[in-house]
Chain A
Amino acid sequence: MSTQIISVLVEDEAGSLTRMSGMFSRRGINIHSLTVSPSEKEGMSRMTIVTTGDEREIEKIEKQLNKLIEVVKVNILDKNTSVVRDLCLLKVYADKENRAEVLEIANAFKSNIVDISIRTITLEITADPLDIDRFVETMKNFGIKELFRTGVTAISRDIEKKSGG
């Protein structure tokens, strides 16, 4: 069982998100995250779904998705040749005593400070989901007040063909 990222191009019709998520629940497949956004094609959206399954299970999901009328294209993204990003907003407790330390770690993870109050700091980080996991784990030491993650979005890299020379 490994995490898989499925990118789906769907027609923008009322109900297509329900139809998509309904297929997963009906077939007993867990969705870790699901993001929907406009695509480069007019009238079409892109959904990025993260789920787990072995090769055969993912093949089944791919086929079931392809059966949905609104689904135009299904891509199983290869993690090695894709750019994968997740955005996280995190509000961490930071008082006088540990504020410097929190900021140091935030800096090390290349996260941005988006808000500060007397007791908390709100940080924003866009990164590979695994990096965000580590970031969140580290921040747990100070106490996390609130945590928001957008879920994964991903795009495949264009592999340039080697030129003859």
Chain B
Amino acid sequence: MSEGLKGTEIVVKCLKEENVKNLFGFPGGQLIPLYDELYEETDVRSILVRHEQGAAHAADGYARASGDPGVCMATSGPGATNLITGLLNATMDSIPVVAFTAQVPTKAIGTDAFQEADTFGITMPITKHNFLVKSTDHLSWTIKGAFKIANTGRKGAVVIDLPNDVQQNRSKEYHHGEVKFAGYNPSIVPNPLQLKRIAQKLVEAERPLILAGGGVILANASEDLRLLAEYLGAGVATTLMGKGAIPENHPLSLGMVGMHGRLGANKMINNCDVLLVIGCRFSDRTTGWGLESFAPDAVKIHCDIDSSELNKNISVDFPLVGDANLVIRDLIKFIKKFEDVKKDTNIWRKRVNQLHSMCEECETVKPNGKLTPEIIIKTINNFLDDNAIVTTEVGQNQMFAAHYYITKKPRQFISSGGLGTMGFGFPAAIGAKVAKPDSQVLDIAGDGSFLMVCQELATAMTEDIPVVVGILNNSFLGMVRQWQELFWDKRYAGTKLGTLPDFVKLAESFGAYGERVEKASDIEKALKNAFDSGIVSVLDFKIESETNILPMIPPGGRVDEMIGVGRCRHK
């Protein structure tokens, strides 16, 4: 045991081999060895958060912005349990995150020692995979295996639980090369026979529509997706996770589909004759309820890297397992072979474009000079440059952002989809800014969400991570209040947050920049002040307390049953 590398040396060596440059963490008794190892390390930056949940979300945001796995660490017991929400958030949105959790020494495991938690047991159902390392001899193999699992196939979070003695003991064992698992070999190459059948259906389509999910972004397939859409003349709707898979100012882009989706996108879903779904898992927020009425007349094609998603929520005519990048590239190849039988889709193409702009017209609320979320986000659209990254919290702020923010490139709209985690956006923005220090990073937040993670202002200040938080402050838990208004007889139980705190003073108490905005005409100047300040900033946009994000599919409603579109003048 006295020879070889120390466990913590092995950890850092592996991190370097995995090209990890940044990690987010918070120390504690059992994690001292690893922190000590990183103390004078210059190649791996260790960013101190102020709550472990922030570390997990920051790693998640880092991964979404960069495309590389995000890394976080926490101590045993409460440190590890505080990571839980962030780990499930990453797993549900298929984001590669590797988490190191310290554990009590192996001999103390099972004794209910101080700060002992069964992290291995607790994280099992919320991660893609997890490990408890019982010997330093297995450490390098485990870490390399963890990165492989997190970042291949359908991506997700992986936990490595590291007992104190495993960190401190020495071992001569070091695994070189790729780690192989007998039962893990994700199939990413699509079946050519099925591809050919699908290509044939696509060229025969008169009204083709593509629904792109987060899988397209994760596979870096956006550029080819646009080519495919243009070649087919297919409208492209996206899920929340797929926002940015196609430039949203593209003539074929229909925007987000689903419960809070664009009216045009939802209409077209039920008007197409062939629906090509790529890298999407048909979540209930995407499909609405009444699954048989989702694109009822269309031939449905579903391509996903995870075979268990095929025919899970919606039965389809053509399922195909494969990486979105390979699927789209190969589809383009096959479609070109069928050039001579390709149907003319020009009429449909025009209709897609028309309907999109018509619906946009109907959805637009007259501002009357008031400070509305719509005006704020439309100003943000004009203010931010093409490389800017927008993150969101969860609730109305998220849906306003999803609705009105025009995302032009992939990995530039970062939001908690599956888990819907309030408090995600700010730490995720910190992670994104660390990944892309030259990009403007803005968190579109709500007052409720931001208060859950506002302590990370300290992280952003001390680590010099100048992100901007724009709070759509309505003094309510806005989305739940909206449901209570629409479906619960306006009984605002538990949703009235009141006008505290003073977010400007809160920001200033951390040494951050803060500004209150009460008039639409001040939005742009405030944005400029915040980004020019060069430090983390909080903009407190005082919006009306009872604003709704409409139209929406009511609970139990179908995709074509949107409410709040009373002003629609078009069929």
A-to-B contact residues, CB < 8 Å: 10-11, 14-15, 18-19, 22, 26, 44, 56, 59-60, 63-64, 66-73
Contacts and interface: CB of A to CB of B under 8 A. Distances in A.
A66 B309 CA distance: 12
B308 A63 contact: yes
7 contacts: A11-B181, A18-B121, A56-B311, A63-B307, A64-B308, A67-B306, A72-B182
A18 B122 CA distance: 11
B543 interface: no
A115 to B, nearest CB: 36
B108 interface: no
A70 B181 CA distance: 8
B453 to A, nearest CB: 28
Interface in B266-320: 306-308, 311-312
Nearest to B181: A69
A15 B120 contact: yes
Nearest to B312: A60
Contacts of A64: 308
Contacts of B125: 22, 26
B149 interface: yes
Contact of A15 (B124, B182, B184, B312): B124
A11 B183 CA distance: 8
B50 interface: no
B132 interface: yes
The B interface is mostly helix, strand or loop, or mixed, namely mixed
A82 to B, nearest CB: 22
Nearest to A61: B308
Nearest to B306: A67
B300 to A, nearest CB: 16
Contacts of A73: 183
Nearest to B184: A69
Contacts of A15: 120-121, 124, 132
B129 interface: yes
B16 to A, nearest CB: 25
A20 to B, nearest CB: 11
B182 A11 contact: yes
Interface string B116-150: 00001100110001001010000000000000010
Interface in B150-191: 181-184
Nearest to A8: B183
Cβ-closest 7 pairs across A and B:
A63-B308, A72-B183, A72-B182, A69-B129, A71-B183, A69-B184, A26-B125
Given A15-B120, A22-B124, A69 B308 contact: no
A19 B183 contact: no
Contacts of A26: 125
A129 B307 CA distance: 33
Contacts of B182: 11, 44, 72
Contacts of B129: 69
Contacts of B120: 15
Contact of A10 (B183, B184, B306): B183
Given A15-B132, A72-B183, A59 B311 contact: yes
Given A15-B121, A15-B124, 6 more contacts: A10-B183, A14-B134, A60-B308, A63-B307, A66-B308, A72-B182
A14 B132 contact: yes
Contacts of A63: 307-308
A60 B313 CA distance: 11
A72 B307 CA distance: 16
Interface string B178-215: 00011110000000000000000000000000000000
B126 to A, nearest CB: 10
- Counting chain A CB atoms within 10 Å of each CB, the highest count among B121, B129, B182, B184 belongs to B182
A22 B125 CA distance: 7
A96 B134 CA distance: 58
- Counting chain A CB atoms within 10 Å of each CB, the highest count among B120, B121, B308, B312 belongs to B308
A122 to B, nearest CB: 36
- Counting chain B CB atoms within 10 Å of each CB, the highest count among A19, A64, A67 belongs to A67
Nearest to A44: B182
Contacts of A60: 308, 312
A30 B435 CA distance: 44
Contacts of B311: 56, 59
B202 to A, nearest CB: 26
B149 A69 contact: yes
Contacts of A56: 311
Contacts of B312: 60
B127 to A, nearest CB: 11
A11 B182 CA distance: 8
Contacts of B306: 67
A56 B125 CA distance: 23
B120 to A, nearest CB: 6
A59 B312 CA distance: 10
A106 B134 CA distance: 50
A19 B308 CA distance: 17
Given A15-B124, A15-B132, A26-B125, A68 B183 contact: yes
Contacts of A72: 182-183
A156 B307 CA distance: 26
A81 to B, nearest CB: 25
B328 to A, nearest CB: 23
A69 B183 contact: yes
Contacts of B124: 15, 18-19, 22
A10 B183 CA distance: 8
A73 B185 CA distance: 12
A148 to B, nearest CB: 28
A18 B130 CA distance: 12
Contacts of A69: 129, 149, 181, 183-184
